[in-house]
Amino acid sequence: MNDLNRRAFLAAGAAAAAPLVLPLTAAGASTTAGVRRGRGGPVVISSGNGLRAVIKAMEEIKAGADPVDAVVAGVAIVEDDPDDMSVGYGGLPNEDGVVQLDSSVMHGPSHKAGAVAALENIRNPAQVALKVLRRTDHVLLVGAGALKFAKAHGFKEENLLTEKAREAWLRWKENLNADDDWLNDEQHVDRDARAERAEQLGIPWHYGTIHCAALNAAGDVSACTTTSGLSYKIPGRVGDSPIVGAGMFVDNEVGAAGATGRGEAVIQSCGAFQTVQHMAAGLEPEQACLKTLKWIADHTKRRSLLAASGRPNFNVTMYALRKDGLWGSASMLKGGSFTIHDGTDARRMASPALFE
């Protein structure tokens, strides 16, 4: 898509008064007209926290691993990291102080998916999701059933709440519980104000997740998303990450897409599925991400989710990898980033933003 088309695309129907940032630094996407072909695989893309994941997944693919095993091995590094408070061990807990994890995995060649939601006490939910994919005729297991299934497959239970995460939760309980996610008919959560108050009090509060997708030299694609979800969520809340078509989707004929950020918005837009469909219709990955984000913006109606300018007040970052090796990402608001390994180098890059 050339700059003129890009501008027209972004301007068409964008929330009226909202300033737009043109994605001039389109990473991996063409700035020339028409659909450009990529150089093929191997390519691995991940969210901004996934630099170690893309390196690991690329090593695995080069050693001959199936891309689905490669992405699950890649994200395990972040699931295991107690300092990443958005995923796996050390993730921030729900309102009751319990860490509940969500994950989904999809294997392009077999078009089979596996997922777990609200899984407790198991640090690598992506590995459990892969077992659901391989060892069941189902797609999604939740809660106690997911835990029972994980234990049957030899996963060890452990307390995932680190001291750091427990202290953060306790400070939230003591200071912010009037700003929880329960709403009455008239109430609107002022998310910006809540995030600001949390920041002033030094309390971590965030959405946070790792997404990773891989393409091998044979043109096969797989993807995975894993998360501890929204901090201090209502117990049992499930985000987009384990929802196939929302937090992640693969069509081996087209490519893969995934999302991080406000899961409710991604579920209500079938974000990853929509992004893959946009690529199937001919859009390059970055443009496919932007089109999904614009759809989300156009369908965001609740006052509590809109800034004064009319744009959404939350962030979502989309990631896309096309079967021919082209890749791209975009965010609703500034601040999103992604990581890429093109077979030679791994690097972290800013995701172009739909809105200033």
Catalytic residues: 209
Shortest CB 272 distance to ligand ASP, Å: 11
Site residue total, ligand ASP (CB under 6 A): 12
**Region near ligand ASP per CB under 6 A, out of 233-241, 280-288, 294-302, 324-332:** 233-241
Shortest CB 1 distance to ligand ASP, Å: 27
Shortest CB 263 distance to ligand ASP, Å: 2
Specify whether the CB–CB gap between 117 and 125 falls below 8 A.
no
**Region near ligand ASP per CB under 6 A, out of 65-73, 182-190, 214-222, 226-234:** 226-234
3-state secondary structure the chain: CCHHHHHHHHHCCCCCCCCECCCCCCCCCCCCCCCCCCCCCCEEEEECCCHHHHHHHHHHHHCCCCHHHHHHHHHHHHHCCCCCCCCCCCCCCCCCCCCCEEEEEEECCCCEEEEEEEECCCCCHHHHHHHHHHHCCCCEEEHHHHHHHHHHCCCCCCCCCCHHHHHHHHHHHHHHHHHCCCCCCCCCCCHHHHHHHHHHCCCCCCCCEEEEEEECCCCCEEEEEEECCCCCCCCCCCCCCCCECCCEEEECCCEEEEEEECHHHHHCCCHHHHHHHHHHCCCCHHHHHHHHHHHHHHCCCCHHHECCCCCECCCEEEEEEECCCCEEEEECCCCCEEEEECCCCEEEEECCECEC
Shortest CB 116 distance to ligand ASP, Å: 13
| Cα gap 261→245, rounded to integer Å | 15
Shortest CB 241 distance to ligand ASP, Å: 5
For residues 178 to 207, the per-residue mask of contacts with ligand ASP, x marking binding by CB under 6 A and - elsewhere, is -----------------------------x
124 binds ligand ASP (CB under 6 A): no
**Is the CB of 10 or the CB of 146 nearer to ligand ASP?**
146
For residues 241 to 280, the per-residue mask of contacts with ligand ASP, x marking binding by CB under 6 A and - elsewhere, is x------------------xx-x-----------------
312 binds ligand ASP (CB under 6 A): no
100 binds ligand ASP (CB under 6 A): no
84 binds ligand ASP (CB under 6 A): no
208 binds ligand ASP (CB under 6 A): yes
209 binds ligand ASP (CB under 6 A): yes
227 binds ligand ASP (CB under 6 A): yes
**Is the CB of 199 or the CB of 253 nearer to ligand ASP?**
199
Q: Which of 68, 85, 150, 230 binds ligand ASP (CB under 6 A)?
A: 230
Q: Residues in the site for ligand ASP, rule: CB under 6 A?
A: 207-209, 227, 229-230, 239-241, 260-261, 263
